[in-house]
């Protein structure tokens, strides 16, 4: 029996499992490993922070998806690998013939200086953000104090802009009588590097309207935390620590180097997609690429298992970015073209909800057809 091992509950692996439901490969067992069964769709995270979505509304249930595909779901996390085996944090190992990595990226936020009250919330990984955000919203000090609150985002990319606007909206609604001030600092010379000038102007206007002070070409210092109650850490994506010691070829930034078939450049039995991987021409760390890689990955994993022929992935030259401004509007950017308006938010909302619904599995369906119990705890 061949072993296909999927590490990470990312957007591309959701597509692999969905395809497996209708057309499984005979003589092959599939195992997927992730620290959590419910994986949020990254495009809806700002809406969740703003209170527009519940966490379950924006999440893909990978346990249900795996069960429907006849796969085994393991709650655990990879910490290392060799050419035929993966080591898990829970202490066990898993063998594989074909391995796929869709584990996203991470961030390493600084520690708050001693005696400083600021909470530093990293936007990656999302499971830690969820816990930190829930703890913040249930903290009695949020509603008991009347002193002004300062929220500072570090990072001027789309994540920093959207997260800050969403956070300000939520906190002002939770405590309408408490002043909440916003600030954004970025080491870049401009807001939203790489975006159309009109999109940058629209984002800057949205921040100003939300009472946010924007400072470009400024590095983070401890005094930022000293003058803030909440720091949103939204700097550039980082590779997971184990990637530099996993034995696979990696880029200068530590991301796994992949070829046009989404295979490791040093081990063709290992595939990698999304933020954890790096193309020969580095792509932006954006979920849209993992989504587009999904169908190609699904076909190429089957080919690696002896079913079908592989195809090459051709990254799109331009991508459509839809940024929520947390005021019922959104900004659209595509190359040098940009628009903003309320209808764009409604369009983005429909697109995002439809994406999550694509992977929804009705409980009676997978309970009846796949009675094998799931493994819910790491070994």
- pLDDT tens readout for residues 244-283: 889 999 999 999 999 999 999 999 999 999 999 998 777 7
Which is nearest to 100 in space by CA: 221, 253, 265, 269? Answer: 269
201 Cβ partners below 8 Å, 6+ apart?
none
Q: Is there a single domain that holds both residue 217 and residue 243?
A: no
Determine how β-strand 149-154 pairs with β-strand 180-185. parallel
User: Is 242 in the same domain as 230?
Assistant: no
Per-residue confidence band for 370, with pLDDT thresholds at 50, 70 and 90? very low
Task: Report whether the peptide linkage leading into residue 72 is cis, meaning its omega lies within 30 degrees of zero.
Answer: no
User: What is the token pair recorded at 119?
Assistant: 């909470």
Assigned domain for 51 exists: no
Average pLDDT over residues 177-193: 95
Residues 197 and 331 in one domain: yes
pLDDT at 377: 32
pLDDT at residue 283 in the model = 75
Residues 126 and 169 in one domain: yes
Q: Name the pLDDT band for 117 (thresholds 50, 70, 90).
A: confident
Q: Is 100 contained in some domain?
A: yes
- Return left, alpha or beta for 296; rule: phi > 0 is left, psi -120 to 50 is alpha, else beta: alpha
DSSP string, 56-72: GGGEEEHHHHHHHTTPE
49 falls within a domain = no
Task: Give the pLDDT of residue 363.
Answer: 55
The number of folded domains in the chain is: 2
pLDDT at residue 375 is higher than 80: no
pLDDT band at residue 379, thresholds of 50, 70 and 90?
very low
Question: pLDDT averaged over the chain?
Answer: 91
**Cβ-contact 231, 120 below 8 angstroms:** yes
Has residue 44 been placed in a domain? Answer: no
Cα–Cα nearest to 165, from 114, 139, 204: 204
Can you tell me the distance from the alpha carbon of 86 to that of 259, in angstroms, rounded to the nearest whole number? 22
Query: Does the residue 41 lie in any domain?
Result: no
52 part of a folded domain: no
Q: Looking at 283-287, 289-293, 369-373, which range is the least confident one?
A: 369-373
Closest CA to 314 of 333, 293, 297, 334: 293
Q: Is residue 60 part of a domain?
A: no
Whether the per-residue pLDDT at 168 is higher than 50: the answer is yes
Same domain, 269 and 346: no
> Average pLDDT of 85-94?
94
- Residue 65 is assigned to a structural domain of this protein: no
Residues 91 and 216 in one domain: no
CATH number for the domain including 82?
Answer: 3.50.50.60
What is the radius of gyration, based on Cα positions, of the chain? 21
Q: Are residues 206 and 347 in the same domain?
A: yes
Nearest CA to 67 out of 297, 300, 363, 357 is that of 363
160 & 303 share domain: no
Shared-domain flag, residues 299 and 349: no
**Based on the domain organization, do 96 and 163 belong to the same domain?**
no
pLDDT of residue 279: 85
- Tell me, yes or no, whether 335 and 349 share the same domain: yes
Assess whether 6 and 98 both reside in one domain. yes
Task: List the domain range (segments joined by +) for residue 245.
Answer: 2-35+76-106+238-315
3-state DSSP assignment of residue 325 = coil
Between these two residues, 115 and 152, which has the higher pLDDT value? 152
């Amino acid at each position: 029996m061949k072993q296909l091992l999927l590490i990470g509950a990312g957007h591309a692996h959701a597509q692999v499992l969905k395809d497996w439901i209708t057309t499984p490969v005979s003589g092959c067992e599939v195992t997927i490993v992730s620290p959590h069964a419910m994986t949020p769709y990254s495009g809806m995270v700002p809406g969740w922070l703003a209170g527009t979505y519940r966490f379950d509304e924006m999440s893909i249930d990978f346990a249900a998806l795996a069960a429907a595909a006849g796969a085994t779901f393991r709650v655990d996390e990879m910490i290392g690998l060799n050419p035929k085996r993966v080591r898990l944090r829970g202490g066990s190992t898993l063998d594989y013939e074909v391995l796929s990595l869709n584990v996203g990226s991470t961030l390493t936020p600084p520690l708050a200086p001693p005696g400083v009250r600021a909470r530093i919330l990293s936007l990656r990984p999302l499971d830690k953000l969820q816990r930190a955000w829930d703890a913040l919203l249930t903290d009695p000090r949020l509603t008991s104090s009347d002193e002004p609150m300062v929220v500072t985002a570090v990072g001027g990319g789309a994540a920093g802009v959207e997260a800050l606007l969403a956070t300000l909206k939520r906190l002002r609604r939770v405590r309408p009588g408490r002043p909440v001030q916003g600030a954004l600092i970025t080491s870049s010379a401009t807001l939203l590097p790489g975006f159309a000038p009109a999109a940058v102007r629209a984002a800057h206007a949205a921040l100003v309207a939300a009472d946010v002070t924007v400072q470009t070409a400024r590095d983070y210092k401890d005094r930022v935390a000293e003058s803030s109650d909440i720091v949103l850490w939204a700097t550039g994506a980082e590779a997971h620590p184990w990637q530099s010691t996993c034995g696979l070829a990696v880029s200068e930034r530590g991301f796994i180097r992949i070829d046009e078939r989404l295979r490791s450049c040093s081990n063709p039995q290992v595939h990698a997609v999304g933020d954890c991987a790096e193309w020969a021409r580095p792509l932006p760390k954006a979920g849209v690429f993992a989504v587009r890689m999904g169908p190609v990955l699904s076909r190429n994993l089957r080919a690696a298992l002896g079913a079908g022929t592989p195809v090459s992935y051709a990254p799109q030259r331009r991508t459509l970015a839809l940024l929520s401004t947390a005021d019922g509007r959104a900004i659209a950017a595509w190359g040098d073209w940009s628009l903003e308006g309320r209808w764009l938010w409604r369009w983005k909302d429909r697109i995002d909800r439809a994406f999550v619904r694509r992977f929804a599995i009705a409980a009676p369906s997978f309970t009846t057809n796949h009675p094998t119990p799931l493994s819910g705890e790491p070994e």
